[in-house]
Amino acid sequence: MRNLIARIERWETARPFVISRGSKSHVDVVVAEIREDGRLGRGEGTPIYYKGDTPELALAAIESQAGAIAAGAGRADLLDLMPPGAARNAIDSALWDLEAKVRGERAWALAGLPQPQPMLTAYTISLGDPGTMAAAAKEAAGRELLKLKLGGEGDLDRVAAVRRAAPDARLIADANESWEHIDIEKICHDLHALRVELVEQPLPAGRDAGLLHVKSPVPLCADESLHSRAELGELIGRYRFLNVKLDKCGGLTEALALIHAARQRGLGVMTGCMLSTSLGIAPAFVASMQAGFADLDGPLLLAKDRPHGLMFNGSDVCPPEVELWG
């Protein structure tokens, strides 16, 4: 019989992590563990705070499924038993990990994907004044892809400062819903001149209709507006890319289905992450194997990581070792 247990863990950040909605000095994650016949499957989720989720609510949601897991509920069953979110992600990831151990295969093989190679990941520069962001970009010299957290007024100056500090880096901009009072078409043309390759979530979720007539030379990417396949249809024509995060969509199982549906509709895919340890990033790595952009730097932003954490080689993140997950 399968036994499900869960807990909340707190992990400190290496430095304040700042976006348009505020600053973080730590992240609280939920960890699900499923034991069966001496084998252990693990999964981690980070509650989406802007959706009203908390570690306590996520923990209670995981614990509520102990009976179903003991009775044999699998990954497909979770899609009906639980809504999208960190709790389902943690259980789904633990089930993937357990199945990989039971079958003696890696998780990507279970997903029908080939043996992975190291993958380019973005590295996040927190929101700050232009000088602070430029200094952080200079400190990250050598990283190929930088993701810049923006906040509204003064964003063009921020990006220009980073471009001067990191003239050879590829850049992604993440507005985090902060451009409601900004001329999006104009700033996107200016950002295109600074060689920005992607702009995430310019408007607040639910107000995406404001993008219907925006002619941007830089592809726009939905983040907060997209959680699972349920929102996909209404984003068509407003975005050219989707940011798929396992904590939003509720696990690797839904993420793979969402990526497939997006690609069928001609949309590009970025896979992202919340602040998390390598245990939270490992299943996202599998999803990222089918994405055009990957933002899997969560563990790099923490003061320390788990044992057997992901190895980062320059700008690349390496596939997870079996001791970590999958």
**Residue 21 region, left (φ>0) first, then alpha (ψ -120 to 50), else beta?**
alpha
List the catalytic residue out of 24, 51, 147, 149: 149
CA 261 – CA 265 distance, rounded (Å): 7
Characterize 231-258 residue by residue with b for buried, 16 or more Cβ atoms within 10 angstroms of its Cβ, and e for exposed: bbeebeebbbbbbbbbbbbbbbbbbbeb
Helix/strand/coil for 108: helix
**Nearest C-alpha neighbor of 168 from the set 139, 135, 136, 146:** 146
Q: How many residues does the chain have?
A: 326
CA 118 to chain centre: 17
The Cα diameter of the chain in Å comes to 60
- Asked if 126 and 300 count as a contact pair (C-beta separation under 8 A), the reply is no
List the catalytic residue out of 24, 101, 186, 245: 245
* 245 in active site: yes
- Give, for 315, the enclosing helix (H) or strand (E): none
Catalytic residues: 149, 245
